[in-house]
């Protein structure tokens, strides 16, 4: 009998057809909550889940005794209870690498847009307010030659840094759990403690994963360390930055601007002051949202799940411990 997959997001027809060759696939495209009764009814028989954006709580796994693998269409895995999955021997797969450059492009778009006030001044033209040569009230600040501070210097942080160092002659500083000597040699990057980096950088770009260690890593104290001319970019996860503290810092002019792709609650409430501030560029979590990259991410997830359900090691595995557990249960080749 074919194994069963519940698919709840971002797969095109060819990808669904590919999965259907080997597995029984139930398509829940557009599912916006695990409370859906049809989904819940299907869960006890499911061997694989593929999707993203919805938070999986440990309780949900109680209803899925046959589950062998989850393929997330994302690199971040803060929506999954990794420890519980590992204990249960359920493989968790993600999609690193294929989205790195696109997400870095988004980060750099935010750097450029905030520094040169692109959105604010495009709105100024759209409103018909451009009646005379603009004066210093509308000047922005340079990007080239400035200091770029990366909070998190993994795949995406390094890709943003490459754009800054090689394209814009920026000095790169980074704070990261471990040192990155190869990137230091490649980009002239220098490692700093977070506090030092915040004080030194003209642009602080957040690219750490969300975890208990990084939740509100950037709070009131950290924002106060930034230069008044400093610009904060967040392309990681909303809760890494204390949003209330950020709003206050922007309102009080303690930092100059913010470019945000991610928020503590998504979709961002229309009540939030952030998108209404002239010095904020707020995007609807589009870090990886290009046709090419979203297709590649879904394909990676499909390939991961196919391998996992055939008992092979997926290309991108988050919880090595679950793999060891499964291999312990299966005859080794």
**Residues labelled as active-site residues:** 237, 266, 285
Q: Which is nearer to ligand NAP, 43 or 297 (CB)?
A: 297
Print the binding letters for residues 253-272 with ligand NAP: x by CB under 6 A, - otherwise.
Answer: --------xx----------
Residues in contact with ligand NAP, counted by CB under 6 A, come to a total of 29
Q: Does 131 bind ligand NAP (CB under 6 A)?
A: no
Nearer residue to ligand NAP within complex by CB, 237 or 254: 237
What's the N-to-C CA distance of the chain in angstroms?
Answer: 23
**Residue 27 or residue 186: which is nearer to ligand NAP going by CB?**
186
Q: How far is the CB of 320 from ligand NAP (least distance, A)?
A: 14
- φ/ψ of 154, rounded to 5, equals -95, -145
User: What per-residue string of b and e applies to 184-194 under the rule 16 or more CB within 10 Å gives b?
Assistant: eeebebebbeb
Taking the complex as a whole, the smallest distance from the CB of residue 3 to ligand NAP amounts, in Å, to 29
Distance CA 52, CA 68 (A): 17
Question: Near ligand NAP by CB under 6 A, which window of 48-56, 120-128, 147-155, 302-310?
Answer: 147-155
Nearest approach in angstroms of CB 154 to ligand NAP is 2
List 178, 267, 271, 291, residue binding ligand NAP (CB under 6 A): 178
CA 98, chain centre distance (Å): 13
203 contacts: CB under 8 Å, gap ≥ 6 = 111, 115, 143, 146, 147, 148, 149, 164, 170, 230, 231, 233
Quick check: 52 binds ligand NAP (CB under 6 A)?
Answer: no
Measured in whole angstroms, the distance separating CA 226 from the mean position of its chain's CA atoms is 23
154 binds ligand NAP (CB under 6 A): yes
Q: Is 75 in the site for ligand NAP (CB under 6 A)?
A: yes
Q: Which of 52, 86, 176, 222 binds ligand NAP (CB under 6 A)?
A: 176
* Three-state SS at 150: strand
* Per-residue contact flags (x/-) with ligand NAP for residues 191 to 230, judged by CB under 6 A: ----------------xxxx--xx----------------
Question: CA 111, 116, 122, 124 torsion: positive or negative?
Answer: positive
Give the count of alpha carbons within 13 A of 258, CB side only. 31
Phi and psi of 207, rounded to 5°? -135, 25
Give the DSSP letter string of 258-311. Answer: EEES--SSSSPPTT-SGGGSTTEEE-SS-TT-SHHHHHHHHHHHHHHHHHHHTT
Tokens of 333: 């080749």
Contact present, 31 and 53 (Cβ < 8 Å): no
Site mask, ligand NAP, residues 269-308, x = CB under 6 A? ----------------x-xx--------------------
| Nearest to ligand NAP of 99, 111 (CB atom) | 99
Question: Which residue in the shown chain puts its C-beta closest to ligand NAP?
Answer: 154
Q: What is the DSSP letter of 163?
A: I
Shortest spacing between CB 12 and ligand NAP, in angstroms: 19
Chain residues binding ligand NAP by CB under 6 A are: 75-76, 96, 99-100, 103, 152-157, 176-178, 207-210, 213-214, 235-237, 261-262, 285, 287-288
């Amino acid at each position: 009998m074919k194994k069963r997959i519940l698919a709840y997001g971002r797969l095109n027809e060819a990808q669904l057809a590919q999965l259907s060759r080997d597995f029984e696939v139930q398509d829940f495209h557009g599912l916006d909550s695990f409370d859906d009764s049809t989904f819940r009814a299907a869960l006890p028989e499911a061997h694989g889940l593929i999707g993203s954006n919805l938070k999986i709580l440990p309780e949900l796994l109680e209803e899925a005794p046959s589950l062998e693998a989850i393929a997330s269409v994302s690199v971040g895995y803060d929506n999954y209870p990794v420890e519980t999955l590992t204990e249960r021997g359920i493989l968790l797969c993600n999609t690193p690498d294929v989205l790195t450059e696109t997400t870095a492009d988004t980060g750099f778009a935010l750097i450029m847009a905030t520094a040169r006030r692109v959105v604010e001044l495009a709105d100024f033209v759209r409103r018909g307010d451009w009646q005379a040569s603009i004066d210093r009230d509308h000047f922005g600040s340079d990007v080239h030659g400035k200091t770029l501070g990366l909070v998190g210097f993994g795949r995406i942080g390094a890709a943003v840094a490459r754009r800054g160092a090689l394209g814009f002659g920026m000095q790169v500083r980074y704070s990261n759990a471990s040192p990155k000597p190869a990137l230091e040699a490649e980009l002239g990057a220098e490692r700093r403690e977070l506090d030092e980096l915040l004080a030194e950088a003209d642009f602080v770009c957040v690219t750490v994963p969300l975890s208990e260690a990084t939740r509100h890593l950037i709070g009131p104290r950290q924002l106060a360390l930034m230069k008044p001319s400093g610009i904060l970019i967040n392309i990681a996860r909303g809760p890494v930055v204390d949003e209330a503290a950020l709003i206050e810092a922007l309102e009080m002019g303690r930092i100059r601007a913010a470019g945000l792709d991610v928020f503590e609650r998504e979709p961002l409430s229309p009540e939030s002051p952030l998108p209404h501030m002239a010095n904020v560029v707020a995007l609807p979590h589009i870090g990886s949202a290009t046709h090419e990259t979203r297709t590649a991410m879904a394909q990676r997830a499909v390939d991961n799940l196919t391998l996992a359900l055939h008992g092979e090691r997926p290309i991108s595995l988050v919880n090595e411990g679950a793999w060891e557990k499964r291999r312990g249960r299966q005859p080794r080749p």
